[in-house]
Structure 1
Amino acid sequence: MARFSVRTSGFPEIRRDGEPCPLPLRKGLALLVYLAEAKGAVARDVAATMFWPDSADDVARTRLRRLLHRVQLALGDGVLATDRTSLRWSESVAVEVDAQQFEAACDRGDFTLACRLYAGDFLDGFTPGACPQFDEWAFFRREALRGRAVQALERVVQDSSAAGDYATAVAHARRLVALDSLSEVYGRALIRSLMLAGDRTGAERQLEALTQQLRDELGVAPEPETRALLNASTRIAEPPATRYVGGGGVHLAYQTYGAGPVDILLLPGFVSHVERVWEEPRSRALLSALAAMGRLILFDRRGIGLSDRVGFSPSVDATSSDIETVLDAAGSRRIVLLGASEGGPACITFAAHHPERVAGLILFASLAKGSATPDYPHALQARQYDMWLRQLVTDWGGPAGIEAFAPSLAGDPQARAWWAGLLRAASSPGAIKGLLEAFRDTDVRHLLGRVAVPTLVLHRRDDRAVLVGAGRHLASHIRQARFVELDGADHWMFAGAQQPVLASIADFIAGLPARAG
């Protein structure tokens, strides 16, 4: 059996039994990569349209036949299986794809191997030319793989530092910095690793380079915590340790912080990263204040942040199941659920199905349905939602959507840089597009009447991301709900005035009839 390897890191290459296959045709290379990634048959019409989008159907099909003939001549007869309607790599040959080997290593949790396998971005610098559909597919695939590479590198840096292997931590932190040179988080990880490895000169050079890049590109200076890393006598406050628990075929990243008579699980909106959330001073202050009320539990839902990336968009029910998995791992018997924005529906679902485990439910800037219908006018129309989503995906990598999510911080360069970095680390454009498309179709209104636990609904009056009417709707349909309308326009809980939010939460928790963790 002939063995083929398909290299997708950088410029693509096809090898047969270890020897390069001369294939100067860019569209031929692109077609072979696309077929290898498809792991099955691809319709002829789909391939013809992808590579000759401006040609008439019969012309495109003729050009595809000619291309397939030239590819067969280059690779050998029987390598591709074709018929009148479809084409694929033949089952009589073995095909290995480096991108798929990398993903398999990530899935197994072998992050050291995954980092070795990730030799560069998917099809970096390659295009078949005048094939926008292929280029779009390659872009989303590239971003998804890059996100998993970032996650793998973060894990190796974390594990190596914990094991005292600072040389390995330095090497992988350098790769993180190369992937995102504007990330102060990654720059800080490298500086810290260099200091622990005894290379103060290298740490000073890295701080100097980071300082100049932040100044030139973003007009900001490094945070005091970053500069303090060079002071060996200064102990830098670290975020809580990140732990993992397996459930439903995935590994979920979670943290616990603080102690007290009640456990508080915070489920944020559509994107999260349990470590990066501590890097923003206002966010850190809010989390610390919540931890002063009890033991705070944070986790990244499947597919987001430091939890395993998955090839599908997790449903509300899947996220509700993940809540139970994390609570069991944290040893929590009863919980106060705090669902913010898109985190609300999963918390509602869990509270409706597991009232015995929920002492109280808090919903902040949340809603029961992802898009508007005649009987639910409190969200964007599906068409408006899709337009917003396209813009969000287009702006991904920068501080996408911050003007709507946190108008009070939209002009703050440090906040903008943090948000952009969190987005890049937490997900990819393709993955977040699928997740938000799934949320657009979410509807938990039928569960509101089944919520039988004390509930607090908080919503800022001029919230631009989720209208205040959505909060009023929640409160009016949950039996034991109290609605508190707050001043301000910020959708993020930590942006704007925190004190009214924290005071309402503290009063609510203090008034719960049972507060066991």
Structure 2
Amino acid sequence: MSITINILGELAVFKNDTPVGLPASKRTRALLAFLAITSRPHRRDRLCEVFWEIPDDPRGALRWSLSKIRPLVNDDTERLIADRERVRLDTTDINIDLRQLISIANNRDLSVEKLTELAESLNSTLLDGIDLPNQELFQQWLTAERAALSQTRASILRRLVSTSELSFSERLKWAREWEQLEPFNPKAATSLLTVLELMGRSTDALRLTQEFTTRFRNAGIAWSPDKRKDYTGPEEPDPCSSRPITNKTSCREILARQRIQFCKAHDNVRLAYASVGEGKPIVKAANWLNHLEYDWDAPIWSPLFRELAKDHRFIRYDERGNGLSDWNVADISFDTFVTDLESVVQATQVDKFALLGISQGAAVSIDYTVRHPHKVSHLILFGGYAAGWRHNASAHTILEREAVMTLTAAGWGQDNPAYRHIFSSTFMPDATLDELNWFDNFQRLTTSPKNAVRFLDVFSQINVVDLLPKIRVPTLVIHSLGDNRIPVDVGRDLAATIPNAEFVGLESNGHLLLGREPASAVFLDAIRDFLKRHQ
């Protein structure tokens, strides 16, 4: 049976080209559209936040909506996949109108007729009538999706304006639509003016020149009416096309490219993993506070991960009890951290790779490298330590760390100034208020208060000191010189004990690097240079 979901205009579902009645509940229809467009797993608690303003039983409301969606998309094939923690709609064999149109738009050799057809087809409101004004998170997502649709249509209009196969009057029609769609795009304005002048309509061009000059000046956008010899400018790739990851690549676009998959650990815990980018693989060992989706919008991880994905296949996973992996697990221990990494490597089928370990992920990486030296081509450790704080800790350190654990249990994910002060002063001492606010929300989304305390307890007991002399692969140790969480001497000791290890100190106070810090560029340069020298 063929299933089609149309999301341009009003939401519609067809089975074998026959319309199917949709649930009366707008939230349920919105949930169906959200699952179809994102086509990736979502935690149940997050879906409750996005679609329900904390009713008496948000999980019950979600179950009810899923029960209405299930007969719409399931037949002999189970497409709505829901377990106790996650929900996903498998759209592999579902025809989605916008997805098909974007696939066509990626073709750079389309005829004028096909471009015209695309421009008309894309001139529809995405999910018309599905707005949920009182659901801020859903509305933000819907607004972003509609903006992306506008960008896709704008790229088609641009191609129509620039083609020599159309008459000037036809180009003028599309130039006007492009300028109306993107009123603050200098190229759209310039293209419209140039077409008017080529048609001999200088009066109209002069009037619009004055209007555009005022508009762009008030908006603080650089624009000059004199620069229009080539009114279309150099050809640009479509927003929807495949191109290298850059710092300007949107979180939404990366999520669209990233394919989240699941594998099972030795004790049947489901682990979420994903990769993005092309080239020699880098596997990042999981560390506390990771999320395969939200990392891409993070001031901490996103800029660094984007850079690594430019030249490499960058593989990440969420640790058990964290992110999109199973939260309700019996065993959270250092040994499971290592065996989880083994499970992910086996699932990705990479033969040899550079292994990146950050914070406690460094100890996991050290243990894995000793167990599997033939798999690891390079070992890169940042902010790492070989022994947790309970080993040889001073009385002051024990009191401080146990205070953090107590505050974590009580204040996780809440606007708790005392908790945030202790956390930020050791992890991100130079973070701005906006970055701290982001971190407050991020921590709530990545794991539960109970699991956060379990993680901290395991970290305190880590001890891989005896494994350091056994490492036989090229190793780079990077550490912030002002790291208050893990002092730089700990990093220097790692480098001194691991045979032939190299050490790079960063001018930063952060245990977690903020992407805007100059030290982040040094971090990336050090990794690139290290990988190049040890090919």
Global fold match (TM > 0.5): yes
CA positional deviation for 1:381: 3.2
State the secondary structure of the residue aligned to 1:327. helix
* 1:373 to 1:437, Cα distance in 2 relative to 1, 3 A: closer
| 1:307 to 2:325 alignment | yes
| 1:228 to 2:152 alignment | no
Cα distance between partner residues in 1 of 2:454 and 2:294 = 22
| 1:435 to 2:363 alignment | no
Partner of 2:352: 334
State the secondary structure of the residue aligned to 2:314. strand
Per-residue CA distance 1:117-149 (angstroms, 9 max, x = gap)? x98389xxxxxxxxxxxxxxxxxxxxxxxxxxx
Partner of 1:446: 466
CA positional deviation for 1:466: 1.4
State the secondary structure of the residue aligned to 1:369. coil
Partner of 2:70: none
Partner of 1:10: none
Per-residue CA distance 1:100-120 (angstroms, 9 max, x = gap)? xxxxxxxxx9999x999x983
| 1:426 to 2:363 alignment | no
| 1:499 to 2:515 alignment | no
Cα distance between partner residues in 1 of 2:254 and 2:470 = 40
Give the alignment of 1:35-434 within 5 angstroms: 120=57, 155-156=86-87, 158-159=88-89, 198-203=126-131, 205=133, 209=136, 228=147, 231=150, 233=152, 235=240, 236-239=252-255, 240-248=258-266, 249-260=268-279, 262-280=280-298, 283-374=301-392, 381-398=397-414, 400=420, 401-411=423-433, 413=434, 415-434=435-454
When normalised by structure 1's length, the TM-score is: 0.57
Cα distance between partner residues in 2 of 1:373 and 1:198 = 57
Where does structure 1 lack aligned partners over 5 or more consecutive residues? 1-108, 123-150, 167-194, 215-221
State the secondary structure of the residue aligned to 1:449. helix
Task: Output the aligned Cα RMSD.
Answer: 3.8
Per-residue CA distance 1:297-343 (angstroms, 9 max, x = gap)? 00011121111124334222221111121112112011111100011
Cα distance between partner residues in 1 of 2:461 and 2:347 = 30
State the secondary structure of the residue aligned to 1:370. coil
Structure 1 segments (4+ residues) deviating >4 Å = 109-112, 151-154, 160-166, 195-198, 209-212, 222-227
Q: Which has the higher contact order (CA 8 A, sep 6+)?
A: 1
CA positional deviation for 1:163: 7.0
CA positional deviation for 1:280: 2.2
* 1:409 to 1:256, Cα distance in 2 relative to 1, 3 A: same
Q: Report the structure number with the largest CA radius of gyration.
A: 2
| 1:512 to 2:530 alignment | no
197-206 vs 465-474, which moves further = 197-206
State the secondary structure of the residue aligned to 1:272. coil
Per-residue CA distance 1:277-313 (angstroms, 9 max, x = gap)? 0122563221121112311100011121111124334
Cα distance between partner residues in 1 of 2:92 and 2:442 = 23
Per-residue CA distance 1:57-113 (angstroms, 9 max, x = gap)? xxxxxxxxxxxxxxxxxxxxxxxxxxxxxxxxxxxxxxxxxxxxxxxxxxxx9999x
* 1:225 to 1:420, Cα distance in 2 relative to 1, 3 A: farther
State the secondary structure of the residue aligned to 1:252. strand
CA positional deviation for 1:165: 10
> Which of 486, 491, 497 is the aligned partner of 2:506?
486
Per-residue CA distance 1:253-283 (angstroms, 9 max, x = gap)? 00111111x2111124322111110122563
* 1:448 to 1:390, Cα distance in 2 relative to 1, 3 A: same
Per-residue CA distance 1:35-61 (angstroms, 9 max, x = gap)? xxxxxxxxxxxxxxxxxxxxxxxxxxx
2:287/2:319 contact within 8 Å kept: no
Give the alignment of 1:440-479 within 5 angstroms: 440-479=460-499
* 1:111 to 1:370, Cα distance in 2 relative to 1, 3 A: closer
| AA in 1 matched with 2:57 | G
Cα distance between partner residues in 2 of 1:196 and 1:302 = 42
* 1:389 to 1:321, Cα distance in 2 relative to 1, 3 A: same
Per-residue CA distance 1:196-238 (angstroms, 9 max, x = gap)? 995344437368x4599x9xxxxxxx99957835747375414
Percent identical among aligned pairs is: 27
Cα distance between partner residues in 2 of 1:265 and 1:502 = 15
| AA in 2 matched with 1:159 | L
CA positional deviation for 1:360: 1.0
When normalised by structure 2's length, the TM-score is: 0.55
* 1:465 to 1:229, Cα distance in 2 relative to 1, 3 A: farther
* 1:286 to 1:110, Cα distance in 2 relative to 1, 3 A: closer
Cα distance between partner residues in 2 of 1:161 and 1:425 = 25
2:285/2:361 contact within 8 Å kept: yes
| AA in 2 matched with 1:453 | V
Give the alignment of 1:12-31 within 5 angstroms: none
Cα distance between partner residues in 2 of 1:363 and 1:110 = 31
| AA in 2 matched with 1:383 | L
| AA in 1 matched with 2:147 | A
Cα distance between partner residues in 1 of 2:93 and 2:326 = 22
Cα distance between partner residues in 1 of 2:84 and 2:438 = 19
State the secondary structure of the residue aligned to 2:399. helix
